[in-house]
């Protein structure tokens, strides 16, 4: 299979920065050390010329990256159970459990959804690199829920187009810290790789536009249960957006959703919060609904999934212990933040 090729043009107002640091933020799931190896091997050029790892990027430079593909035999088929919500001649819809990585990457060569799909026996599209057969979009390792897998390249391209044009329907549910004061809102920011930690995403003045709509489903004394709809699908988008407005996803270690939120709770709330954090060793975020136009039939299809056991158990505990102290969802203005189009909820 041909190597994957990426072209990046340095933004007009980009300040001086080493190329390996710059690219480690721009390319997902690739370490700075790996980028340095590609530069030394000639896989990365700037304006069609080889550079050294300490090259400083300048506005309007064109960076071409040729990402080597692994030997297809490097991918191992593993007999891992799959929760298949739907399967037909063109695609599968999978309910991914929390803890499963979607595709092999650095540090995750086995145990991924791709390894499980290979053992399932279905053919998979080759539109992506060899390490990502069939993968049209992704969910974070510790986010559970629905994603679609393409069996051939035509289906893959058509689904990718729908994701790119924002015509798919993607709804999530999340348990977040704090009592959100307004019944619904829209969060709109620009997101980019964190300048000091490449594994994190941050809100910035530049980067890619990201839009998240939310609606309050239920309030508890110190938590809120939300429904969210993505207008865009950026890496860690929901997690970063909710942390940005002061309501990080419950259990989210990366974006401030675990023990640091315990300060300020009373004794009963603290005991309950600690119990819930033990139930949920991951972020309380689930991709519940997925809809798109089927590339083969041309008909709109929608899929829904039940809440996973850990999140369902946490909500049941909240309803039992904390439910009587909740207040109803109030009417009023939306959460004050930059908005795009009207909230679809």
* Separation of alpha carbons 229 and 238, rounded Å: 9
Residues 178 and 315 in one domain: yes
The question of whether 322 is a catalytic residue gets the answer: no
The answer on 191 and 62 residing in a single domain is: no
Boundary residue ending a domain (130, 164, 198): 164
279: in domain:
yes
| Listed residues 104, 134, 164: the one ending a domain | 164
Task: Indicate if 264 and 183 belong to the same structural domain.
Answer: yes
Checking if the pLDDT of 337 tops 60, the result is: no
Residue-averaged pLDDT of the chain: 88
Q: In whole angstroms, give the CA distance from residue 36 to residue 96.
A: 33
Beta-ladder partners of 108: 105
62 and 93 inside one domain: no
pLDDT, tens digit, 9 for 90 and up, residues 75-120? 888 999 999 999 999 999 999 999 999 987 756 678 899 999 999 9
**8 Å CB contact between 220 and 325:** yes
Q: What is the pLDDT of residues 229-268, one digit of tens each?
A: 999 999 999 999 999 999 999 999 999 999 888 988 999 9
Residue among 337, 326, 289 at smallest CA distance from 184: 337
- 262: domain range? 169-290+307-325
pLDDT given for residue 327 in this prediction: 58
User: Is residue 158 domain-shared with residue 184, that is, in the same domain?
Assistant: no
Reported as a single tens digit per residue, the pLDDT across 170-181 is: 999 999 999 998
One domain, residues 76 and 148 = yes
Is 229 inside a domain boundary?
yes
CATH number at residue 204: 3.30.2350.10
Whether residue 100 is found in the same domain as residue 236: no
Residues 197 and 312 in one domain: yes
Tens digits of residue pLDDT in 33-69? 778 988 998 999 999 999 999 999 999 999 999 876 5
Considering the domain architecture, whether residues 277 and 176 belong to the same structural domain is answered as yes
> Is residue 331 one of the residues assigned to a domain?
no
Please state the domain count of the chain.
3
What pLDDT score does 335 carry? 43
Q: Which of 20, 64, 74, 140 is catalytic?
A: 140
278 in the same domain as 179: yes
pLDDT of residue 142: 95
Final residue of a structural domain among 17, 40, 67: 67
pLDDT digits (tens, 9 = 90+) for 161-220: 999 999 999 999 999 999 998 999 999 999 998 877 767 899 988 889 999 999 999 999
């Amino acid at each position: 299979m041909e190597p994957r090729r990426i072209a990046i043009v340095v933004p007009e107002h980009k300040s001086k920065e080493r190329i390996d640091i710059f690219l480690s933020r721009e390319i997902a799931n690739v370490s700075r050390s790996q980028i340095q190896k590609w530069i030394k091997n000639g896989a990365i050029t700037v304006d069609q010329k080889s550079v050294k790892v300490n090259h400083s990027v300048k506005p309007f430079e064109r960076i071409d990256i040729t990402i080597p593909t692994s030997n297809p035999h490097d991918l191992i088929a593993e007999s891992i159970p799959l929760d298949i919500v739907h399967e037909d001649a063109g695609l599968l819809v999978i309910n991914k459990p929390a803890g499963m990585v979607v595709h092999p990457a650095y540090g995750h060569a086995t145990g991924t959804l791709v390894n499980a799909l290979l053992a399932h026996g279905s053919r998979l599209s080759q539109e992506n690199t060899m390490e990502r057969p069939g993968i049209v979009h992704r969910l974070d390792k510790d986010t559970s829920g629905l994603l679609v897998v393409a069996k051939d390249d035509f289906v893959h391209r058509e689904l990718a187009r729908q994701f790119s044009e924002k015509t798919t329907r993607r709804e999530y549910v999340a348990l977040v810290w704090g009592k959100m004061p307004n019944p619904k809102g829209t969060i709109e920011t620009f997101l980019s790789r964190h300048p000091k930690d490449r594994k994190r995403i941050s809100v910035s003045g530049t980067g890619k536009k990201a839009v998240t709509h939310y609606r309050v489903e239920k309030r508890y004394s110190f938590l809120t249960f939300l429904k969210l709809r993505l207008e865009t699908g950026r890496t860690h988008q929901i997690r970063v957006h909710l942390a940005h407005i002061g309501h990080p996803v419950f259990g989210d270690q990366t974006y401030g959703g675990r023990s640091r939120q315990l300060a300020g709770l009373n004794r009963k709330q603290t005991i309950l919060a600690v119990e819930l954090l033990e139930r949920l060793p991951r972020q309380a975020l689930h991709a519940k609904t997925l809809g798109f136009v089927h590339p083969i039939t041309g008909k709109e299809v929608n899929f829904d999934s039940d809440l996973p056991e850990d999140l369902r158990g946490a909500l049941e505990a909240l309803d039992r212990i904390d439910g009587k102290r909740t207040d109803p969802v109030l009417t009023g203005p939306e959460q004050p933040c930059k908005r795009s189009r009207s909230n679809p909820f």
